[in-house]
A = this chain, B = another copy of it.
Amino acid sequence: MKGMMMQRPLRISDILEFGAEQYQHGEIVSVRTEGDIHRYTYPEAAARTRQLANGLLAHGIELGDRVATLAWNGYRHFELYYAISGIGAICHTINPRLSPEQLIYIVNHAEDKVLFLDTTFVPLIAAVKDHLPKDLTYVIMSDKDKMPKDMPFEALCYEDLLEGQPATIDWPEFDENTACGLCYTSGTTGHPKGALYSHRSTVLHAMMIIVMQTSSFVEGSKVLPVVPLFHVNAWGLPYSAPLSGLSIVFPGSALDGPSLFKLMDDEGVYSAWGVPTIWMGLMAEIQSQGRMPKGFKDVVVGGSAAPRSLIKAFEEHGASVSHAWGMTETSPVGSHGVLPAWMADAPLEEQLDIKQKQGRRCFGVEFKIVDEDGKRQPHDGKAIGELFVRGNTVVSGYFNNEEASAKALDPEGWFGTGDVASIEPGGLLVIQDRAKDLVKSGGEWISSIDLENLAMAHPAISNAAVIAVPHKKWDERPILVAVAAGAEKPDLAELQAHMEEHFAKWQLPDDVIWVDALPLTATGKVSKLTLRQTFADYVHPDER
C-alpha cells in the first residue's frame, strides 16, 4: 500500500530559493580574478542566478545540455552551479590541473555546448582550442571592463549574458532523477570517466552532510571551501551552505598558507574544508605567526588521509579536526570522522586515534568490505578487504561509457572503491590504503598510509610517501620518499628507530630518498603513480 503524501521532485533550484528567502543576511564573499574582493547576499546571488538562467535559456541551452566551467572558487562559479542545473542542463566542472590531452578528451566526450572560464585559463584554452568542438561557445567570467585584451579566440562576456535578463524565473519542474552535474575522475589509468549526478542525489547529499556533522552547520557562521568547485562539487558545500544558512567565503586561486590565513583572519571563517596539502601550508603560516586565524574552529580534511601530526597541530591550536572520506563516485562524502560524543573528554592522543580514522558512514551510504573472492568480511576492526559502497549518492555507472559502466558495480549492485579498509564494530571506517598502493611483502600486506603517517611525525620530515619497489625474495618492499622540514636529513637507521615502536621490523621501509617536493595529482593528492614512474628503475639495496 502506498502512502498518501505529495510527490514533489527534489530539486537543486529549491535549495537556492530557500536560502535566498530564509537567510537574507547570508553572504557570499569571493576573492576575484579581477584582484578585489566581491561580496553580496543570498538574495542578490539568487537574483543574478535567475538572470543567468534566463540568459542560458535565451542562448538556446536545453534540458540535458552540458555546460562546462573552468574556474576557481568564486561567486560566478556558484551562480553557474545553480543556473545550469536549475534549468535542467548539466553543469560540467572541469579540473584545470588535468593534462591538455585529458581536457580535450573530456570536453569532446561531454559534448559541451558552452564553456565558461576564468581569465586565468584563457592561455590554457587557447593552446587546445583547435581540438575542442567547433561550435563550442566560450564565455569569460569577468567584468566587462576587465575582459582580457587581445583575446586569442572569440568569447562572450559573462556579464553580457546576464544584462537585460529578468531576475525572476519559474524554475522548470522535472523528474528528480534528472542529471544536474558531471564531474570526471582524474583517473590514473585510461581516459577520465564521468560521474553524472542527479538532482535527487545532490539534494540528499546536501542534507546528509548537515545531518552528519550538525556542529559544522551553525547558521550565520562562515565556511570556506578550499576544496575547489571544479572538484566533486566542492564536497557539496555550495548546496549545504544555503540550506543551513552558512555564509560562504570563496578563496579564488591563491591557496597558499599566507593568503588563506589572511583571508580567513579578515573574514572570521569558522569552518574550512580542504585536502591535507592545503592544511600543511596553512599550519606552517599558523606556526610562523604563532596564532590561528580569528574564529577558525572547524577543520574538515578530505581527499586523502590526514597525517596524525597535522591533525594534532590543529587540535593543539584549539580547532576541531574531522576527517571526511569519499570520492568523485560518491558525491563525494561517504563518511565523516566526527569525534563520538562519548569521547569528548578523552585525552588528546586517544581522540587522535579516532580522528585519524575515516569515521562514520553518512546516513544513506552503506559499506561492505570483501576479500579477493568478493566474500563479505566481518566489521570487527580486524578483517581487511576492498571497500564497496551503496546509496543514493553513489554512481551506478559512468556517463556515456558502457565499458566502464559495465565494470562499475559488483553483482550485488555495490560500487567498488579501490580502497582497502577495515570497519570497526562501532561502524568507524579505517582506510588502510588504495588497493594499488598497498605493499605486499612476503605475502603480507603493509599499509603505506600508516608508514607515511609515522614518518611525518618525525620532526625532520615535512611530507612523505611510501611506495613499493620490486624485490626478488619478498616480491615487494616499502621505501620512503621524504621531504625534509629543514636542513637536517636523518639517515635510515634513525628513521627506522623512530618507527619501530609502532611497526614490526619487517614492515619498516628499507630505504629513504630525500626529494624537494612530492608530485601532486590534479586534485592535490600525492601522486603515487608519478612516484612509481619516477622510481621505475630503482634497485633495492639488497640487489645492488
Contact = CB atoms under 8 A, between A and B. Distances in A.
B363 A14 contact: yes
A505 to B, nearest CB: 36
A87 to B, nearest CB: 13
Contact of A4 (B8, B18, B243, B405): B405
Interface stretch (A139-147, A207-215, A482-490): A207-215
A243 B6 contact: no
B201 A3 contact: yes
Contact of A5 (B4, B90, B218, B393): B393
Interface stretch (A164-172, A173-181, A309-317, A461-469): A173-181
A209 to B, nearest CB: 10
Nearest to A175: B2
A395 B2 CA distance: 12
A444 B341 CA distance: 54
Interface in A218-271: 218-221, 243-245
A346 interface: no
B3 A196 contact: yes
Q: How large is the interface on A (under 10, 10 to 19, 20 to 34, 35 or more residues)?
A: 35 or more
Contact of A200 (B3, B214, B244, B415): B3
A200 B2 CA distance: 10
A353 to B, nearest CB: 17
- Of residues A4, A221, A425, which shows the largest number of chain B Cβ atoms within 10 Å of its Cβ? A4
Contacts of A217: 211, 214
A281 interface: no
A426 B218 contact: no
Contact of A195 (B4, B364, B394): B4
A529 interface: no
Given A22-B361, A178-B1, A219 B6 contact: no
A221 to B, nearest CB: 8
A393 B8 CA distance: 9
A179 B1 contact: yes
A360 interface: yes
Nearest to A63: B1
Contacts of A363: 14-15, 18, 207, 243
A341 B222 CA distance: 12
Interface string A185-221: 0000000000111111100000110110011011111
A395 B426 contact: no
A100 interface: no
Contacts of A10: 364, 392
A4 B215 contact: no
A20 to B, nearest CB: 9
A344 B1 contact: no
Interface string A409-432: 000010100000000011100000
A152 interface: no
Given A4-B196, A5-B393, A21 B341 contact: no
A361 B198 CA distance: 24
A390 B9 CA distance: 12
Interface stretch (A29-37, A396-404, A433-441): A396-404
A9 B156 CA distance: 44
Given A22-B427, A341-B219, A5 B392 contact: yes
A195 B7 CA distance: 15
B342 A5 contact: no
Given A63-B1, A338-B219, A344-B220, A394 B6 contact: yes
Contacts of A7: 177, 392, 396
A25 interface: yes
A340 interface: yes
B341 A25 contact: yes
A391 interface: yes
A441 to B, nearest CB: 34
Nearest to A11: B364
Nearest to A25: B342
A426 B22 CA distance: 6
Given A3-B196, A7-B396, A218-B341, 4 more contacts: A3-B177, A8-B390, A10-B392, A214-B244
10 contacts: A2-B175, A2-B177, A4-B396, A4-B397, A4-B405, A5-B198, A6-B395, A7-B396, A214-B214, A215-B218
CB-CB nearest 6 A-B residue pairs:
A220-B341, A3-B198, A1-B64, A214-B214, A5-B201, A3-B179
